[in-house]
């Protein structure tokens, strides 16, 4: 038994190293036009999969995550992404339903490109023969903006002084804001098999192909983004367990692939009520490109709250500019206590 546990442990700890860089060339364009993404993707449940709406034990849940990327390259305005969500449990005819909303905001540094989203989210949850199924749907409003101050276009080249002049006329029909409705859906399965507690999910984003162009009287349909994620727990001892995670995300020609694990240790009773602490790493790379970042993670689970911190160490050819500094990320999840009555048995003597 111990030998099997050791094999499992090293399999998940060493798994990411199988993808470390070889002689592959960096292709910066392959990561363009992606949706926002997080290293602690599992700590942002409503942006990972709509089926996570209500997928927790408690009456309500609040989640929040903040990411700042490339502070060395973009010293004045690093890329900043924030997502915050709230969910509430409801029970209708003994059926579990979750409902809530998620807000996302992204600022793309000196490019002055902003992206703000507000989704309403709903989930349905059912247990069948020990298997937990979760289904979710999101619909919402998206606003994109582009401030043209400081930007210049080919037609604004001033040949007299050899510089671009943003005050010169530009014939393009660019606009500063674009709004559209967006729809997402997903499904999750979870089970328990001895020491294994796996969870797998699949989600589709933008399945209505919204028109996101910033050019008036033009059309540029946003392609569907496909997300597959795998996680769960592997219980090694009563105090030690693994939390492996894999994410595969494709968005037209862009793709994102994260794999790794966290190792958690349960603590004895303590005054600040920390249940367990965890630490580990993930590796972000692409399906057809080189590795992007090695991600170190630490965190703690309190009675009702989980706090995680991640830091991306850039390992691609871009590290000449980033000095291996990628992005900093902090997450917080708080789950309210459940008021659902639990069935308990009280032993008593029979006459």
Q: What is the pLDDT of residues 36-57, one digit of tens each?
A: 779 999 999 999 999 999 999 9
* Cβ–Cβ under 8 Å, residues 331 and 307: yes
Domain annotation for the chain: domains and CATH numbers: 2-335 (2.40.160.40)
- Between 125 and 37, the more confident residue is 125
CA 49 → CA 16, 105, 152, 253, distances in Å? 23, 17, 38, 21
Mean local confidence (pLDDT), 168-193 = 84
pLDDT band with cut points at 50, 70 and 90 for residue 323: low
Query: What pTM was estimated for this model as a whole?
Result: 0.80
SS3 state of residue 30: helix
- The pLDDT of residue 6: 40
Which has the higher per-residue pLDDT, 129 or 287?
129
- 22 has pLDDT over 70: no
* Contact criterion met (CB below 8 Å) for 84 and 43: no
Residues 6 or more apart in contact with residue 247 via CB below 8 angstroms: 41, 227, 228, 229, 256, 257, 258, 259
Compute, in degrees rounded to 10, the torsion defined by CA atoms 52, 54, 57, 59.
150
Please give the Cα distance from 47 to 203 (Å, whole number): 10
Percentage of residues of the chain with pLDDT beyond 90: 53
Cβ-Cβ contacts under 8 Å for 109 (sequence gap 6 or more): 70, 74, 77, 78, 79
**What is the rounded average pLDDT for all residues in the chain?**
81
CA atoms of 284 and 294, how far apart (whole Å)? 6
The answer to whether 183 touches 206, Cβ cutoff 8 Å, is: yes
Task: Show contacts of 30-35: CB within 8 Å, 24+ apart.
Answer: 30/253, 30/254, 30/255, 30/286, 30/288, 30/289, 31/254, 31/256, 31/286, 31/289, 31/292, 32/254, 33/251, 33/252, 33/253, 33/254, 34/251, 34/254, 34/256, 35/205, 35/225, 35/251
Select the more confidently predicted residue: 31 or 108.
108
């Amino acid at each position: 038994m111990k030998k099997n546990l050791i094999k499992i442990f090293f399999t998940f700890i060493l798994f990411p190293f199988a993808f470390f860089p070889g002689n592959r060339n960096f292709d910066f364009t392959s990561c363009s036009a992606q949706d926002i993404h997080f290293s602690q993707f599992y700590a942002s449940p409503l942006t990972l999969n709509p089926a996570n709406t209500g997928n927790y034990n408690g009456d309500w849940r609040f989640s929040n995550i903040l990411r700042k990327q490339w502070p060395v390259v973009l010293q004045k305005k690093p890329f900043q992404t924030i997502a915050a969500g709230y969910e509430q449990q409801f029970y209708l005819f003994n059926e579990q339903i979750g409902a809530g909303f998620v807000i996302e905001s992204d600022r793309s540094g000196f490019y002055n490109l902003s992206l703000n989203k507000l989704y309403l989210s709903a989930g349905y949850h059912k247990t069948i023969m020990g298997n937990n199924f979760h289904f979710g749907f999101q619909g919402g409003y998206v606003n994109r903006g582009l401030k043209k101050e400081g930007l210049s276009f080919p037609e604004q080249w001033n040949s007299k002084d050899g510089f671009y002049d943003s005050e010169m006329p530009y014939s393009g029909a660019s606009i500063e804001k674009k709004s559209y409705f967006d729809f997402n859906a997903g499904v999750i399965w979870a089970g328990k098999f001895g020491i294994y507690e796996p969870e797998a999910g699949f989600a589709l984003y933008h399945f209505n192909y919204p028109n996101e162009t910033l050019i008036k009287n033009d059309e540029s349909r946003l392609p569907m983004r496909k997300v597959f994620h795998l996680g769960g727990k592997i219980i090694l001892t009563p105090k030690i367990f693994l939390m492996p995670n894999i994410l595969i995300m494709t968005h037209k020609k862009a793709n994102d692939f994260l794999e790794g694990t966290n190792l958690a240790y349960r603590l004895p009773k303590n005054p600040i009520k920390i249940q367990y602490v965890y630490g580990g790493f993930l590796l972000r790379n692409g399906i057809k490109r080189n590795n992007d970042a090695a991600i170190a993670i630490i965190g703690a689970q309190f009675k009702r709250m989980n706090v995680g911190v991640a830091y991306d160490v850039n390992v691609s050819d871009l590290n000449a500019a980033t000095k291996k500094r990628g992005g900093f990320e902090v997450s917080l999840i708080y789950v309210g206590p459940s008021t659902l009555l639990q069935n308990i048995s009280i032993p008593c003597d029979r006459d």
